[in-house]
Amino acid sequence: MALFIGVTMTLLAVFLHGWRARWLVVSSAAGGIVSVAVFAVQVLTYYGWDGFLAELAHTYARRGANGAAGGLERYAYRSWHGLILLLQSIALETFNRAVVVVIIAGLTIAAVKLLRGHYSGPRRLLAGLLLSTTAGAMVTSALLYGYFVDAYVVSLLPCGVFLGALATGVVAVEIYDVTARLSRSEAVANWVSLTALVPVVVASVMLFRPPVTTEYMSLLRTAYRDQTIIGPPVEAWLFAPELAFVLTGAMSVRTASIEATPEDIERLSGLRESDGTLTYACLDTLYIRKMAKLGESSVCEIAASRMLQRGHQVVAEGFGWVVMRINSEDRPANAELVEMSPAKAARWVGPGSAHAP
């Protein structure tokens, strides 16, 4: 984000002020360097020189270059390939193909108008911001390709929204100018320029999703109030135990895996309610956040399928979440598996379990 904003604002200053922007650019760069220097000192103090250099090299090799070596050609490829992936995400996930057409049209109009000197004032600012934002995205993709794809394509952070909003503004201005020239009426031009919003409005209507996980949160707040909940370990997208603690006000415990394994059930047997109830709750926020599933399964679906094979019950489920009743498993898991064939053991334990053959 820092690289993207830094490059975007630097180029915008150049677009608007040319050589006169040099002191603004220098002072902004100095501020950025100082902030990075403070962070570098913190890391250096903690790791030492060898650890600092190793962390820097490892991080860039893993995410910056996306594991691939190469020269200028590789950087050039990543610069436009990241932008293509972003436009593909806009077309298929966050908006629609018409919005991509608007973005391309806006970029073309902005470049031509600025090069010919047809824009001034607010229109020059709008066109310059669109071009600098696009250039900022391309530079960020070139230098930090892995981070760019993860943040702006996979995680759907609003780089695409920036491009779409700015391009819509440029196209609306162009529609206004053409309509005003042909109709000689500013009122008519104002109304006609609103057609630039049609692709965005259509995308908003078609991609509308009702609120998700409301039933899940309601269940935890009411039916499971003051009741112990077990859930999968916390990762970047799993917050089941912590969220359950907030909503129920009772103890929440992590399982060793995404599912409640036989060892978990034995270890957590003392947490059962007076009626013998032990509740497992899972919420996969990453799965919910993705708008195009492409046949994927959520972590909660995988865990539930494994646990159903071992005699546990689904109490409630929804989009990206599941609540299950954990029954007792009286037989010792390891001893039972010794007497089973590999196929039968896989069906009883579930694929991917630590005990699966």
Its domain, for residue 95, covers 2-206
Domain stop point among 206, 226, 243: 206
3-state secondary structure of 254: strand
Q: Which of these ranges, 39-43, 120-124, 211-215, has the smallest mean pLDDT?
A: 211-215
**Tens digits of per-residue pLDDT, 200-210?**
999 989 888 77
Q: Average of pLDDT values for 71-100?
A: 91
> What is the pLDDT of the chain when averaged over all its residues?
84
Please report the DSSP string for 30-86 in residue order. HHHHHHHHHHHHHHHHHHHHHHHHHHHHHHIIIIISTT----HHHHHHHHHHHHHHH
Is residue 168, in this structure, part of any structural domain at all?
yes
Answer yes or no: do 85 and 229 share one domain.
Answer: no
Is residue 37, in this structure, part of any structural domain at all?
yes
Beta-sheet strands, E only, within the chain: 229-231, 252-254, 279-283, 313-318, 321-325
Count of structural domains, the chain: 2
Answer yes or no: do 288 and 271 share one domain.
Answer: yes
**Tens digits of per-residue pLDDT, 247-280?**
898 888 888 888 899 998 888 888 888 888 899 9
Nearest to 355 by CA among 333, 340, 339: 333
Answer yes or no: do 8 and 144 share one domain.
Answer: yes
* Dihedral angle sign, alpha carbons of residues 319, 322, 323, 325: positive
Q: Give the Å distances, CA to CA, from 45 to 21, 49, 167, 284, 334.
A: 36, 8, 45, 37, 47
3-state secondary structure of 321: strand
Answer yes or no: do 134 and 28 share one domain.
Answer: yes
pLDDT of residue 99: 96
Answer yes or no: do 12 and 141 share one domain.
Answer: yes
**Tens digits of per-residue pLDDT, 113-159?**
988 988 888 999 999 999 999 999 999 999 888 889 988 888 778 88
Is residue 343, in this structure, part of any structural domain at all?
yes
pTM passes above 0.85: no
Work out the percent of the chain whose per-residue pLDDT is above 70.
86
Nearest to 87 by CA among 11, 141, 7, 144: 141
Q: Average of pLDDT values for 166-170?
A: 96
Cβ atoms of 322 and 303 closer than 8 Å: yes
Is residue 355, in this structure, part of any structural domain at all?
no
- How many Cα atoms sit within 13 Å of 298 on the Cβ side? 23
Q: Which of 178-191 are b and which e, b meaning 16 or more Cβ less than 10 Å from the residue's Cβ? A: ebbeeeeeeeebee
Q: Which of these ranges, 59-63, 148-152, 264-268, 337-341, has the smallest mean pLDDT?
A: 337-341
Answer yes or no: do 51 and 176 share one domain.
Answer: yes
Is residue 253, in this structure, part of any structural domain at all?
yes
- How many Cα atoms sit within 13 Å of 238 on the Cβ side? 21
Answer yes or no: do 192 and 235 share one domain.
Answer: no
Answer yes or no: do 307 and 329 share one domain.
Answer: yes
Is residue 50, in this structure, part of any structural domain at all?
yes
Is residue 356, in this structure, part of any structural domain at all?
no
